[in-house]
Chains A and B, each alone.
Chain A
Amino acid sequence: MSAVDPQDKNPKIEQAGASDESIQQVHSILLREKPEPEENHSPMPLFLLGFISAMVLMVAIYFVHNSGGLSQSFSFKQAAMVYDERFDPKNAPSAGAEVKIDPLALGKKNYASVCAACHQPNGLGVPGVYPPLAKSEWVTGSEERIIRILLHGLQGPIKVEGKEYNSAMPAIGPGGYNFSDERIAAVLTYIRQEWGNSAPAVTKEKVTEIRTKAAAGRTTAWTSAELDAIP
């Protein structure tokens, strides 16, 4: 027979396997322990209600006062700034101003990530394959030509520093590496002023002008002969 617990209506109790034998073997340690815990239903003390309400109120006031500008008079962007009671968005030096980027720094970074693979970090290129940029008459010469080289690429025979090259350079602008005008201007400014080169900076506006007007619609790479025709 399996033991039935008269106070327990749960039929599953029979599956507990509490056979006579196992009951008799229940160790004294288990027999002496108190029944499994239960809960009384004493009502909550009233003062708790007051305490909790007071906490909610105080903490809400605290939050509103110390949110460092989450209120309507500030934008979310400002609210997300570090809290500093001396900070006043109206006098902040950088408020609303665009951040200035040093074209040389930007150019150097882009040169290292793209151009250096072929023209080498020292700008000397690889003899017979990749022409040098250091001291190159193309680099320090007319900005009209090198902007075009970068925008659309270059192919066919070309003479640099008296040596012949006949290879192809991919487009860095649209359809190729997709550099923005700003990045093209920056990288050109960089190669024109590095390794002892000294030629004036190239502006972003000039690049935009050539891309959208002078060379608009061009998709193929330039050749040395075509570029020679451009001043």
Chain B
Amino acid sequence: MASVPNLAASFDPATSPDLVKRAELSEIDASTKVPALFFLGSAVLWLLVGTAFALISSFKLHTPNYFGDIEWLTFGRTRTAHLNAVIYGWSVNAAFAVAFWLMARLSRSVLRHSGLLMIAGAFWNIGVTIGIIGILTGDSTSIEWLEMPPYATPLLFVAYALIGAWALITFRFGKSGHIYVSQWYLLAALFWFPWLYSIAQIMLILEPARGTVQALVNWWFAHNVLGLWFTPIGLAAVYYFLPKVLGKPIHSYYLSILGFWSLALFYNWAGVHHLIGGPVPAWVLSAGIAASFMMAIPVIVTGINHHMTMVGSFSALKYSPTLRFIVFGAVSYTITSLIGSLMADRQVNEVVHFTHFTVAHAHQGMYAFFTMVMFGSIYYILPRILLKEWPSAMLISVHFWTVAVGITVYVVGLSIGGIKQGLEMNNADIPFLSTTAASVVTNTIPYLLSRSLSGVLMTIGHMAFAVNISWMLLRPRAPQATTPTLFQNPPEMEVAR
């Protein structure tokens, strides 16, 4: 379709089928406006908070006495606060907003009961705030990925239940006969997350399982949050925005199906690979490793599907910010997942486990894939719910390049440093820590510095993003038709973002 309304349609809008659809979309978007703004706004604030804690923690790794004598800014607390702020604050808030915006559009249903969502949003963010304050004051449960103290988590659960119920209502009342692939992922994710979260809360916090079962449940949860919650939401967004921005269909429905079901089948098993070498029955580990290898199937299938959709349209990357972020995310998804399968191999794991390599991998998944996809989605969604254009293409450009270069430096630096660290740790001749000779710990310092440097870059990007959003919120709506804010103007108005 033309990006500028064509002549015939503008004479008699009511007869144009496409315009009817546009009107419907516009109403759906309008109905999502308040809650979407609330969730996205909270997400961005948490992103800034999380980034601040990230920087502090990163500096501490090479300069340990930086803020060393302030109890609530010690490493154990800032790192944990960082994780919880970016996961439960930024990522989940953004995921919620993107999920229900997509869900409403794809179900062709205006957002009903948005009050429910606002209550959920309030509960969620109050819960995260209490949780992070709890962590900083020393109340962390010290269970990885579930560090928030038990007095904060019930709030999160209530919030979640409301959102889950809401999504089902929307889907149920939807008008669309066909269920688009993004909707499978969204619905599945909305089912999976409460399952994971409630089992983990019960078996780890309320009525803790004993012995190594506890570790198993912990990693089952922590890994599945990535694979069965963030991954499906991220993929749902990719599946929507790729064809949407390019204006062409997804390559193959069959590949979509295969990718979805193989993910659902294999991912749930994979988390155990975190316990390789631990006191866990061998067959449990081997099953986890086997499933991790099998994850190559959904990843490659999805990768092919996305790539074949892109083929012939790569030049659009020059113009559309949404597309550029989304494609960066989709490519990272493929790379990081394949590396993940490799890391589950016992021989590889022997080297990279307990090193910075794992940290690099985690950030490649949560940042290079998920966060980038969320950025891309936000660049698309906000103009539609605010009916304003992004104020500055320059700031978008700064945002993209700082975070893209930043996360690349981060991942490459820590991956190399991590492999080196792992080989040295397995070598008994090299001391673990020594202030006089070269040691495993002191050898990691250059890589830790590169991590801080990339952290600074990403911080700049996040500031640019936040400034652009605030500016957009504050500026008045243009009365006349506007043109999109693109990196550069395409020869013809081919790309609509």
Q: Which residues on A are within 8 Å of B, measured CB to CB?
A: 1, 3-8, 10, 12-13, 15-18, 20, 22-45, 48, 51-52, 55-56, 58-60, 62-63, 66-70, 79-83
What is the CA–CA distance of A103 and B294 in the complex, to the nearest angstrom? 52
Asked if B438 CB lies within 8 Å of chain A CBs, one says: no
Mask of B485-497 contacts with A, CB within 8 angstroms, 1/0: 0000000010011
- Interface residue ranges of B245-265 to A (CB < 8 Å): 245-247, 249-256, 258
- Contact A36 to B105, CB < 8 A, known contacts A16-B23, A62-B286, A82-B282: yes
Closest CB in chain A relative to B383 CB, distance in Å: 5
**Contact between B239 and A37, CB atoms less than 8 A apart:** yes
Asked if B27 CB lies within 8 Å of chain A CBs, one says: yes
**Contact between B23 and A42, CB atoms less than 8 A apart:** no
Of all chain A residues, which has the CB nearest B9?
A31
**Contact between B282 and A66, CB atoms less than 8 A apart:** yes
Closest CB in chain A relative to B408 CB, distance in Å: 28
**Contact between B243 and A38, CB atoms less than 8 A apart:** yes
Of all chain A residues, which has the CB nearest B5?
A31
Of all chain A residues, which has the CB nearest B3?
A32
Closest CB in chain B relative to A156 CB, distance in Å: 46
Closest CB in chain B relative to A12 CB, distance in Å: 5
Give the residue of B177, B281, B294 whose beta carbon is less than 8 angstroms from that of A82.
B281
**Which A residues are in CB contact (< 8 Å) with B239?**
37
Asked if B25 CB lies within 8 Å of chain A CBs, one says: yes
**Contact between B27 and A22, CB atoms less than 8 A apart:** yes
- Contact A82 to B279, CB < 8 A, known contacts A3-B14, A38-B250: yes
Ordered by A's residue number, 27 sampled pairs between the chains whose C-beta atoms are within 8 Å are A3-B20, A3-B23, A4-B20, A5-B21, A13-B20, A16-B23, A18-B23, A18-B27, A28-B482, A29-B387, A30-B25, A30-B384, A31-B3, A32-B4, A32-B496, A34-B1, A36-B21, A37-B182, A39-B256, A42-B251, A42-B308, A43-B252, A59-B294, A70-B283, A79-B281, A81-B281, A83-B281
- Contact A62 to B281, CB < 8 A, known contacts A18-B23, A28-B482, A43-B254: no
- Contact A44 to B14, CB < 8 A, known contacts A38-B243, A69-B282: no
Closest CB in chain B relative to A83 CB, distance in Å: 3
**Contact between B22 and A30, CB atoms less than 8 A apart:** yes
Tell me how many residue pairs across A and B have CB atoms closer than 8 Å: 190
**Which A residues are in CB contact (< 8 Å) with B19?**
23, 26, 31
What is the CA–CA distance of A202 and B244 in the complex, to the nearest angstrom? 83
**Which A residues are in CB contact (< 8 Å) with B282?**
66-69, 79, 81-83
- Interface residue ranges of B267-316 to A (CB < 8 Å): 279-283, 285-287, 289-290, 293-294, 296-297, 300-301, 304, 308
**Which B residues are in CB contact (< 8 Å) with A59?**
290, 293-294
Closest CB in chain A relative to B473 CB, distance in Å: 16
12 other contacts beyond A24-B13, A32-B3, with CB at 8 A cut-off? A8-B20, A18-B20, A36-B106, A36-B244, A37-B243, A37-B244, A38-B243, A51-B297, A59-B294, A68-B283, A79-B281, A81-B281
**Which A residues are in CB contact (< 8 Å) with B21?**
5, 35-36
Closest CB in chain B relative to A173 CB, distance in Å: 30
What is the CA–CA distance of A6 and B20 in the complex, to the nearest angstrom? 10
**Which B residues are in CB contact (< 8 Å) with A13?**
20, 24, 175
Closest CB in chain A relative to B214 CB, distance in Å: 16
**Which A residues are in CB contact (< 8 Å) with B453?**
none
- The interface on chain B, measured as residues whose beta carbon lies within 8 A of the other chain's beta carbons, has a size of 72
**Contact between B25 and A41, CB atoms less than 8 A apart:** no
Closest CB in chain B relative to A82 CB, distance in Å: 5
B22, B245, B249: residue with the most chain A Cβ atoms closer than 10 Å? B22
Asked if B181 CB lies within 8 Å of chain A CBs, one says: yes
Q: Which residues on B are within 8 Å of A, measured CB to CB?
A: 1, 3-5, 13-14, 17-27, 29, 105-106, 108, 175, 177, 180-182, 239-240, 242-247, 249-256, 258, 279-283, 285-287, 289-290, 293-294, 296-297, 300-301, 304, 308, 346, 383-384, 387, 389, 481-482, 484, 493, 496-497
Closest CB in chain A relative to B320 CB, distance in Å: 11
**Contact between B387 and A27, CB atoms less than 8 A apart:** yes
**Which A residues are in CB contact (< 8 Å) with B246?**
34
Give the residue of A12, A31, A37, A67 whose beta carbon is less than 8 angstroms from that of B180.
A37
**Which B residues are in CB contact (< 8 Å) with A7?**
17
What is the CA–CA distance of A67 and B287 in the complex, to the nearest angstrom? 8
A7, A13, A23, A68: residue with the most chain B Cβ atoms closer than 10 Å? A23
Closest CB in chain A relative to B216 CB, distance in Å: 12
Instruction: In the A-B complex, list the 5 residue pairs whose CB atoms are closest, starting with the nearest.
Output: A68-B282, A83-B282, A34-B247, A28-B481, A37-B243
B4, B24, B177: residue with the most chain A Cβ atoms closer than 10 Å? B24
Of all chain A residues, which has the CB nearest B301?
A48
**Contact between B243 and A26, CB atoms less than 8 A apart:** no
**Contact between A16 and B24, CB atoms less than 8 A apart:** yes
Closest CB in chain B relative to A19 CB, distance in Å: 8
**Contact between B283 and A67, CB atoms less than 8 A apart:** yes
What is the CA–CA distance of A28 and B19 in the complex, to the nearest angstrom? 11
